[in-house]
Amino acid sequence: MDVVMIFNGLGNQMSQYAFYLIKKKKSASTRFIFLKKSANVHNGYELDNVFGITKKDTIGDKLLYFIYLLISHRKPAVVLKPVIRLFGLLGMTVVYEDDDYSFRHKLLEPSRGIRYYVGGWHSDKYFVDIKDRVLSEFRFDYSRIGAANVEILAKIKACTSVSVHVRRGDFLSPENYLKFGSVCTFDYFLSAIRKMRSLVEKPHFFFFTNDFTWVKDNFVEDDFTIVNINIGADSWKDMLLISNCLHNICSNGSFSWWSSYLNNNENKIVIVPKNFMVNKHIPDVYPEDWIQLSDY
């Protein structure tokens, strides 16, 4: 049995759920479980609120979750070690995603015993065979976005719109900055905007961010619009708006990734930083037709 753990932010949860769908296709017994310790991170389990993907834990799910907590414990009590060893002998293991996010085709094979999958799984190579199914699961309810977003959406539809997603916030914390936060610099966004201007006639740039002050202070042009109406539990509405732009400029995060991936413009141009992590190029993260900038 395969068990995919869902946790930590809407973009991550979408990648994890897409991974679950392909595992489910290959093995009908596959389940997914929301990792409760991440309930207070970002906005908890968001797939239900955003896409109507409900999750009701059965008794079996609760048992599987309890076993996961035991076998994933880094420093178990002495009395638990024999139990954990027994679970291991019964084929109960945890598979963690490689730190370089590389695509591992072998992970698509059905598991023996019970195997828990913990990771982001941010490569479309995992679910390319069921892309239509994935896209059908991630459909927005436009009736819920509110009048302010309807107005922004109309502006997006009325021009050659380009989204610019600037993620800062938690990426600036000491632990995240050294791994993710210093990838998308001011120079990266300037280079990406310049590149887009060379490819698109009369673009209008719509900025989406969790740091409005920084964007307002650094990006001031007549063809720039800063969208600052969706925060907290409403952040998913930014993803809807971004996906409706004709073209996209991304930060190095799963929210940006999915916002652009859901863009159904057949001629879309998507610009991303070559390095998804600081000083680390990860070729499997981005679709092959996205433009990766390295010199900025």
Residue 274 lies in a domain: yes
User: Which of 161-165, 169-173, 288-292 is predicted with the least confidence, judged by mean pLDDT?
Assistant: 169-173
In a domain, 284, yes or no: yes
pLDDT tens figures, 55-101: 888 999 999 998 898 888 766 555 456 666 666 656 788 999 987 78
Are both 91 and 168 inside the same structural domain?
A: no
Domain contains 276: yes
- pLDDT score recorded for residue 34: 94
pLDDT at 83: 61
Last residue of a domain, one of 103, 133, 163: 133
- Residues above pLDDT 90, as percent of the chain: 66
d(CA 169, CA 209): 9
- Dist. CA 45–CA 270, nearest whole Å: 28
- My answer on whether 87 and 119 are in the same domain is yes
Give the CATH number of the domain where residue 175 resides: 3.40.50.11350
The pLDDT value given to residue 82: 64
Q: 150 and 246 share a domain?
A: yes
Q: What is the pLDDT of residue 179?
A: 58
Portion of the chain with pLDDT greater than 70, in percent: 86
Q: Which of 114, 133, 152 is the last residue of a domain?
A: 133
pLDDT of residue 198: 97
Is 178 among the domain residues? yes
Q: Tell me how many degrees the CA angle 281-174-285 measures, rounded to the nearest 5.
A: 25
Q: Is the model more confident about 168 or about 134?
A: 134
Whether 159 and 248 map to the same domain: the answer is yes
Per-position DSSP letters for the chain, written without gaps between them: -EEEEE-SSHHHHHHHHHHHHHHHHH-TT-EEEE-GGGTTSTTSS-HHHHH-------HHHHHHHHHHHHHT-SS--GGGHHHHHHHHHTTEEEEEPPTT----GGGGSPPSSEEEEES----TTTTGGGHHHHHHHS---GGGSHHHHHHHHHHHHTTEEEEEEE--GGGGSHHHIIIIITSS-HHHHHHHHHHHHHHSSSEEEEEEES-HHHHHHH---TTEEEE----GGGTHHHHHHHHTSSEEE--SSHHHHHHHHT---TT--EEEESEEETTEE-TTSS-TTSEEE---
Lowest-confidence pick of 154-158, 227-231, 272-276: 272-276
- The structural domain count of the chain equals 2
pLDDT for the residue numbered 79: 47
User: How confident is the model at residue 69, as a pLDDT?
Assistant: 87
Q: Which of 98, 133, 168 is the last residue of a domain?
A: 133
Mean pLDDT of the chain: 88
> Which of 285, 273, 253 minimizes the C-alpha distance to 103?
285
62 plus 202 within the same structural domain = no
Structural domain includes residue 122: yes
Whether residue 17 is found in the same domain as residue 85: yes
Residue 138 lies in a domain: no
pLDDT at residue 86, as a whole number: 61
Is residue 285 located within the same domain as residue 149?
A: yes
285 conformational bin, left if phi > 0, alpha if psi -120 to 50, beta if neither: alpha
Domain identity same for 124 and 148 = no
Residues 244 and 157 in one domain: yes
Task: Give domain status of residue 103, yes or no.
Answer: yes
Same domain for 156 and 120: no
At 10, list the tokens. 């809407």
Q: What's the domain range around 16?
A: 2-133
Does the structure show a pLDDT above 60 at 181? no
In a domain, 287, yes or no: yes
Task: Name residues whose C-beta falls within 8 Å of residue 80's C-beta, 6 or more positions apart in sequence.
Answer: 70, 73
The residue among 68, 73, 71, 64 whose CA lies nearest residue 31 is 64
Q: What is the largest CA-CA distance in the chain?
A: 67
The pLDDT tens digits of the residues spanning 30-39 come to: 999 998 876 5
Query: For 151-165, 166-180, 194-208, which range has the lowest pLDDT when averaged over its residues?
Result: 166-180
Highest mean pLDDT among 27-36, 234-243, 275-284: 234-243
The model's pTM is 0.90
185 compared with 17, residue with greater pLDDT: 17
Look at residue 154 and tell me whether its pLDDT is greater than 80.
yes
Is residue 279 scored above 80 in pLDDT? no
| Whole-number CA gyration radius for the chain | 20
Say whether both 151 and 265 belong to one domain. yes
Q: For position 234, what pLDDT does the model report?
A: 94
Q: What band does 41 get if pLDDT is binned at 50, 70 and 90?
A: low
Query: Residue 177: what pLDDT?
Result: 47
Q: At residue 187, does pLDDT exceed 60?
A: yes
35 plus 125 within the same structural domain: yes
